[in-house]
Each structure stands twice: as structure tokens, then as C-alpha cells.
Chain A
Amino acid sequence: MARILIVEDDRDLNNAYSIILKNEGHEVVEAYDGQEALAKLKDFSPDLILLDLLMPIMGGLEFLQHYDLLKTHADVKVLIFTNMENSPEVNEAYKLGAHRCIIKSWTAPHNLARVISDALKTKPKPAKTKATKPKA
């Protein structure tokens, strides 16, 4: 089972995804904006991040820029969970290393569990540069 970080500002949805994923046996941590997610990532190393795009304080795209997914966390899968289908924001998220985009309002709980299971099975993208330097 995997370690999953949910970053979603809508508390009802965040709670629902948390229930569904915990029910599948995953270890789940919740954050309600990008800034809170970055703070939680100091103590939690996820296999997968379920990321909303439009959030207050720090949105999903800004989070991806700070998290530096492509360079330093290439082994972490980021699933964009948004309602902004076919939008330039989704394209931007792919450029920043997102694995897949899922439309929230189309996705039933059993499909969410399947999409996450599929994403976890895929091989990580090769890192563009080496990971952070080991501490001296």
C-alpha cells in the first residue's frame, strides 16, 4: 500500500478522498493548499500526491514549481485532480511533471482507487538531474 498526500482545498472532497483511500489501505495525509502541502512534505515522503489546481494561498501549479517535481522528486507520482478540463493550466501541470489529470466531477470513488493503483504501478520518469546532495 502507498503513502498518499491529498492537496485539496474543498474540505468535503478532501475528507471523501481520504476515506476512500484509507479504505483501500493507503497511508494518507491531508493538506488544504500548496503551502500547507509543502510544510507537510518535510515530515512525510509520499509515493503519490493527489493535487488540486485552483486553491487559495498557493495553487497546484505554484506548488509544483516549489516542489520541483521533475528534478528532485521524479519518483513521486502527481495526479492532478481538477475540474478545469482541457485548460492551459492542465497543460502547464504536465510540463511541470504531473503524471495524469483526472476530472473530479467525472470520477467515481472506485475509479479513483483504480487510477491511483495504475499510477503507482508505472515506472517513475528518469530524473533530469541528480537528487539533492547527500548531507555532509
Chain B
Amino acid sequence: MPRSKTSSLSPNRSTFEQQAEAEALFTSIGDGAISTDEFGRITRVNPVAQDILGYSETELIGEWFPKKIIAITSDDIPVNLIDRPITKAFLTGRSISEKMYYRRKNGEKVPVSISVSPILLEGKPLGAVEVFRDITLEEEVDRMKSEFISLASHQLRTPLSAIKTYSHMLVDGYMGDITPTQKKSLRTIISGANRMNELISTLLNITRIESGTIAVTLRMVQLERTIDDVIKEVSMMAADKSISIELKNESQASISIKTDALILKEIITNLVSNAVKYTPENGSVTITTLQRGADVLITVSDTGWGIPLQSQDQIFSKFFRAPNIVMRETTGTGLGLYLVKGLVDTLGGSISFKSREGTGTTFYLTLPRTPKRKSTKSTRRTVTTA
């Protein structure tokens, strides 16, 4: 005979039993938990909350939550009442999750991840329950991860820099004349070093984007100049396949935008080198720029193999490589466009494309001429203006 399910709503259970169960549940929560009445006065505190905040139960019960439990930003600025998760939960009637800092009784600052849910009865708030977690350790791990990325970036690239610089110096004749065969061999070394460099850059940038630690430095950038630099860098690869690259500015004047020069260059390099890589010999790549209100539109078109229709919804996915490309190009990580999408998002822009297999692809990159500063609440992305 199947056993019937019991619940706290069972009519056979007394109110005392239900209260005892709720109390046990509240006490056993592994994170800090505080409940309030409809006025925000604290009605219940579990032991973990007392540990995190340093207050005893008697010091908290009956106190007005926003006044007793002080929330601050990373810069030690008190969080406005209207911006407190508990206020938002009361006002919106929805659960709110955020990260901020609480001030402990002894004055110490503790980073917390907060989740508040309103207690509603027929749409009216009867109170709220806030659950919060001390994330000191997580923040420390993030900081160490970020430091490791910087160090790894430096250490991996230092020997590459020497390889590239000296190879270039030999090619450019700084050490005397060399034969055409020697020059060709050196260009192969430079090409290999460039591929290694690109891979390191891609992996590091992806790690930074995914961990929210990518640094953005805003400064005025002349668009044509950046694109010219990219064209120069990929010109050797294009010349090997007799592919022409053309830049057209469709605006009346040259375009300057306030953005991160290195990230912008990384995006355009990825798009243009992809276009060259996935276009057969004697093809062409065209880059256009257009100022359009508060935005700039950059297009990168090629006469390449195109993206099969059935693969088009996966093109910005991590590690994705279209089947028609895998057949032709064995090198490639499937990370380029995933990275591009992340970088475009970082700069507050958008990217889309149109493609027909066997005809070619056009990528449409839209970037704000002056990016809006994003809230730092949900990300630790560093933004400065140089």
C-alpha cells in the first residue's frame, strides 16, 4: 500500500508542529538567513547569520533590517535604502539576488551573495526572507585566478616576443643581408610565432571574459587607422592566397570612437583573418565603416566558402567549427567567433552576419561611438578612461 505524502499543510498537524518544523528548517540552513515582517523588522535569525554578522539573536530581533544590517559597496559607501535587495524585493514582489558587502558588528567588511524573497499572501507582502553567504573565499580565488592569468600571459609571451622581434630584425636587415631562402624560413618562424601568440591571446581573453576580469580602457581611437593596422598584419596571409583586401569608409569624414583600442583591434583582427582564412584563392575581402547616429557600423565581407544554413545558429558557440570548414582547414580552435562575441559585448556593441554557402559571408559589427558605462554590480570588469 503506497504511503501518503505528508506536508506542512496537512490538516492533521498542529500549528505548533508546523512552527517547529519551520524553525528547524530555518536553523539548519547552511547560509545566513534572516526573516522580517511586512515593515522590515527582523523576526528570525539563524546561527550562520549571527556568525557572519557578529550579532547575537537578541541584538537583532525586532530591529529594522536596513538600519541594523549595514550594506556597503566595495568602496565603503553605504548602499542606499532603495538599492538594498530587501527593499527591491518588497517593492517588486520578486526574488532579488545581488552581491555587496555587509558591515560586521566589529566594523569589518564581509563580501556577501544575497538572495531575498518576499513572503506574499494574495499579492500583499507579509515579510521577507533573506539568505546570504560569505563569499570571502570565492573573491580571493577570483583574485588569485586573475593574477595567475596576468602572470601566465606575461611568462608565455616573453620568449615569443624575443623570437618574433629577432626574426623581424633579421628579415628587415638589422643584422645584415640574408638570402631569399633564409628570409622565407624566417617568415615561417614569424608566422608560427604569430599563431602561438594568437592562441595565447584567445585563451587568456576568454578566461578573462568568463571570469568577468577583462579590463577596458576607454580612449579615442581612429577607426580607419586600427583597420589599416589589421590589414597590414594579415596582408601576408592574404598575399599567399592572392586575396585582395579593401577598406571603404562610407562616411564623409574619418571616424573616431571612444573604445578600448586593444579589444577593438582583437575583434577586427579575428573577423578579417577569418575572412581571409575561409576564402579560396583569388577571392576578396571588403571592410566598410559607416558612422550611424550614436553608433558605428563595421562590415567585413568575403567571397569565401560561407556558413552552411544548418550551422548558422551555432557560429558564436565555443569550440564550434562548421563542417564545410573542418574539411578544408585543419587548423583552428573554434574559439575565434566565441571570443569576438564576448569582446563585442564587453564594448557594449552587437554583432550579426549574413552568409550563403559557396558565396560568402558578411559580418555586421555595431559599436557605440561613446559607450555607456555599465553597472559594476554584476561584473568586476575594470573600466577606466585614458
Contacts and interface: CB of A to CB of B under 8 A. Distances in A.
Interface of A: 10, 12-13, 16-17, 19-20, 23, 54, 82-91, 94-95, 98, 101, 103-106, 108-111
B282 interface: no
A19 B161 contact: no
A110 B166 CA distance: 12
B109 interface: no
B201 A85 contact: yes
A110 B201 CA distance: 22
B162 A101 contact: no
A91 B384 contact: yes
Interface stretch (B121-129, B150-158, B284-292): B150-158
A91 B172 contact: no
A87 B150 contact: yes
A91 B197 contact: no
Contacts of B216: 86
B169 to A, nearest CB: 6
Contacts of A82: 154
A104 B161 contact: yes
B382 interface: yes
Q: Which 9 A-B pairs have the closest CB atoms?
A: A83-B157, A94-B386, A104-B161, A105-B157, A91-B384, A105-B161, A16-B165, A108-B168, A12-B162
Majority SS at the chain A contact face: helix
A103 B174 contact: no
Contact of B153 (A12, A87, A109): A87
B263 interface: yes
Nearest to A82: B154
Nearest to B197: A105
Contacts of A13: 158, 161-162, 165
Contacts of B150: 84, 87-89
B164 interface: yes
B205 interface: yes
Contact of B166 (A12, A89, A101, A106): A12
B247 interface: no
B215 A90 contact: yes
Given A10-B158, A13-B161, A85 B153 contact: yes
Given A84-B154, A85-B153, A86-B208, A109 B165 contact: yes
A122 to B, nearest CB: 12
Given A16-B162, A84-B154, A85-B201, A94 B217 contact: yes
**Taking each of A19, A85, A103, which has the highest tally of chain B beta carbons within 10 Å of its own beta carbon?**
A85
Contacts of B156: 83
Given A12-B166, A105-B157, A109-B165, A86 B214 contact: yes
A86 B386 contact: no
B175 to A, nearest CB: 9
B165 A87 contact: no
B154 A19 contact: no
A86 B264 CA distance: 11
A91 B384 CA distance: 6
A28 B172 CA distance: 20
Contacts of A84: 150, 153-154
Contacts of B134: none
Interface in B316-364: none
22 contacts: A10-B161, A13-B161, A54-B154, A83-B153, A83-B158, A84-B153, A85-B153, A85-B262, A86-B214, A88-B213, A88-B215, A88-B382, A90-B215, A91-B386, A94-B217, A94-B384, A95-B384, A98-B386, A105-B161, A105-B197, A108-B168, A109-B169
Given A85-B201, A91-B382, A105 B169 contact: no
Contacts of B386: 91, 94, 98
B302 interface: no
A86 B172 contact: no
B162 A91 contact: no
A95 B260 CA distance: 15
A19 B169 contact: yes
**Taking each of B150, B164, B193, B214, which has the highest tally of chain A beta carbons within 10 Å of its own beta carbon?**
B150
Nearest to B173: A23
A16 B262 contact: no
Contacts of A111: 229
Given A10-B162, A54-B151, A91-B386, 14 more contacts: A12-B166, A13-B158, A16-B166, A83-B153, A83-B157, A84-B154, A85-B201, A88-B150, A88-B215, A90-B215, A94-B384, A98-B386, A104-B157, A109-B169
A20 B153 contact: no
Nearest to B156: A83
A111 to B, nearest CB: 8
B215 A86 contact: yes
Nearest to A95: B384
